[in-house]
Structure 1
Amino acid sequence: MSIVKGRMTAEFSGPLVVFLIGMRINHFHKFSKWWPVFRSMGPMLEELSANPQSGFLGTEFAFCSLRQVMLLQYWKDFESLERYARSHDEKHWPAWTAFNRNVGSDGTVGIYHETYAVDGGAYETVYGNMPAFGLGKVAGLVPATGSRNEARDRMRVSNQS
């Protein structure tokens, strides 16, 4: 990844859904439980990336700790995310049923997700001397103009307390 010098912001103005999804390995020695969960995300991301009509915009991968991984995903809207999650014809559904069958609530693997629906303009991004990352990677980068204290202006939110 090449570094983009200077202060940049994401070239994005519409509404979006931010989806955090991850897993935590609670018992390292139970490899047969957590490994299938870990490797199930790759094929889903390939499937989504290959289908521009899915509503999936892109993702970032992060190791939160030795035990925990997370994906930061961007979606066009909640309906697209929900449609994918519930579709019996795509890779998420079999992965979800396999998790419930093989792990369920036995405590060996933790999973989580958080979903945020964000109105257009109700977010702001700044990247300083960074490779394209996050929403900037998904949407492209443009120079962040103005003073360094104009996050509120970039968000186009009112000065309400």
Structure 2
Amino acid sequence: MKRRGGFEMVFDGRWTGRLPAEGGAVFLIGMRFNRLWRVDKWLPVASAMPRMLAHLGKHPELGFLGGHSWFGRTTILMSYWRSADDLINFASAKEAPHLEAWKAYNRAVGADGTVGVWHETYLVKPGQAEVVYANMPSFGLGAAFTHEKITKDSNSSRKRLVTSGPA
């Protein structure tokens, strides 16, 4: 492991992620700027996610394990959850910021086409997902669950898929 240029810690070599026996959930969510000049429509949508992430950061018991964001005309937040139930409970909780943001989107944008929102949810279980990180900071499933060095017992996709359960 080395710190490079003041950025995130980079783990030299090849690493993988190990899922817990109960698995977890990967949730992709984002928005698309369909009419860039309609700042009045997309700014409230874009500003809702930081509030949600701040709330989740203050409440680790809700099951959010972390995520990574990318920005462009279509944005994406790739997030990791302890379980799909945790994700669904957060999305529907009256005391959490998601439900009100979703209602506000439907009131302000609805089906007018100015800004799109999207999400995809994937359940991941040991033996059904495998990951490799080479010369990367702790990232993705490895950062959300267990980040470990690849060994002779995990040096191929086939081996990682078979051995991705509990050690």
* Same-fold call, TM cutoff 0.5: yes
Deviations for 1:55-103, whole angstroms, at most 9, x for unmatched residues? 111111123xx31110011111111111111111110011111100111
Structure 2 match to 1:70 = 76
Q: Distance in 2 between matches of 1:100 and 1:6?
A: 47
Deviation at 1:140, TM superposition (A): 4.4
Of 93-102 and 137-146, more deviation after overlay is shown by: 137-146
Structure 2 match to 1:83 = 89
Structure 2 match to 1:49 = 57
Number of residue equivalences: 155
Deviation at 1:153, TM superposition (A): 1.3
1:112 aligned partner, one-letter code: W
Structure 2 match to 1:154 = 160
Structure 1 match to 2:5 = none
TM-score, L = length of structure 1: 0.89
Identity %: 41
**Does 1:23 find its partner at 2:39?**
no
Change (3 A) 1:131 1:94: same
**Does 1:130 find its partner at 2:131?**
no
RMSD: 1.7
For structure 2, the residue ranges without an aligned partner over 5 or more in a row are 1-7
Structure 1 match to 2:41 = 33
